[in-house]
Structure 1
Amino acid sequence: MKKFLVLLCMSLFLVACGNSEEKSASEPVKNQEDDSEEANQKVSKKEGNTKPEESKAPTQIKLGEVMVVNDFAEITLNSNNFGQVINPPNPGDFYTYYENKEPNQVYLDSVITLKSLQTSGKVASDFVSLKIIYDDKYEYTTFSTLEENGGKDFTYSNITYIEPLQTGVLHFLASLPSETENDGKPLKAVFTVNGETFEQIIR
């Protein structure tokens, strides 16, 4: 009889433990679902309140105007010229020039004067990037070259430094379809200087 009672007590104890374990095992799953629902609600509310970031309009500039980016550079727009061949302004006896040999293509040469406001020398090509936009939708990249020896020659802008408070003259060349030279459609240059954007309406 005693053995029977002992076995009965043990059986009841094991059943009780089993129910307790099942209950505790099921509770975390319920809590996870609740947490997940709450998290989804929070995300939904957050997404509902989120507004798209407004892009800042570029600053409009004109030829002869100076762009000042504090502690970085002063940049003056000099000219925009079309040409099949781009020469330095005061060619010496031996000089570098750029000829567009692509059929039905012409160069647009955008010239700027740049004064460094850096505290140490900086590679000339790292100051400014420029793109050309034609007819309000066609975008063209440029490459740059730097005047040297008072404009007698060109040198590489990606290996030549402009020292603090010194000035350099950069030419940005874009290869465009020949018809862009005289068709009168909109043409603009977009400059990016240390994260700031400037836009010049060429025509």
Structure 2
Amino acid sequence: MLGDLQKSLLEGIEGYPNTLPFNSKSALVSVHSSHFLCCTLSPKERALVDMEQLKALKQNPNVGVKTRFLVDFVKICEAMNEKVLVFSQFLDPLTLIMEQLKSIFNRTEKKEVFYKSGKLDKNQSLVGASRVMLLDVVWNPSVERQAISCAYRLGQKKVVYTYHLITHGTTEYRKYCHQAKKDQLSELVFSARNTEQDEPKSFAVEIEDEILD
């Protein structure tokens, strides 16, 4: 559930929904309230909060609904010896989360906490992780599949679970529905179903998630 500060910042974002500036601000602030500082703000938006106070809250995961969930999730994963991959289309949330995890869990960068951007080796396989956390919603469904593929590759011996975090009360849900629809259309267009022999058999597999339980 959104805290009062994060809710007020999201509701105070100016502009038209479905435009790039609005979506970028909304996506960033949906992760953590302090990302308001990373945005280009109008005078009215700046008046929503004390900027110095917001800076002081950067290391507090509880002022972001997604960072709060993520930290609690990592605590459980650590107890169960599970590794987590966190993906975002923005660099600022990843940098902030890395700093929060280092501080809260007393971990060392490049030893227990690793950071990877598009400027680094894109072909690096991360098959040691079995939990994939998607922080935001992107228009292109293939980006999500690429993120999952970083963990679920040859050599991965565990079931890979994917969690897509969507903040209630924002445009993210509507954006996710559009993304899911595009993904379904893509499957219909590109799936080979010319003959009965080629048509894949449907099956269902029920896998319990101990962490969410």
> TM-score under structure 2 normalisation?
0.20
Structure (1 or 2) with the larger CA radius of gyration: 1
Higher relative contact order (CA 8 A, sep 6+): 1
Under a length normalisation based on structure 1, what TM-score does the superposition of the two structures give?
A: 0.20
More strand by share: 1
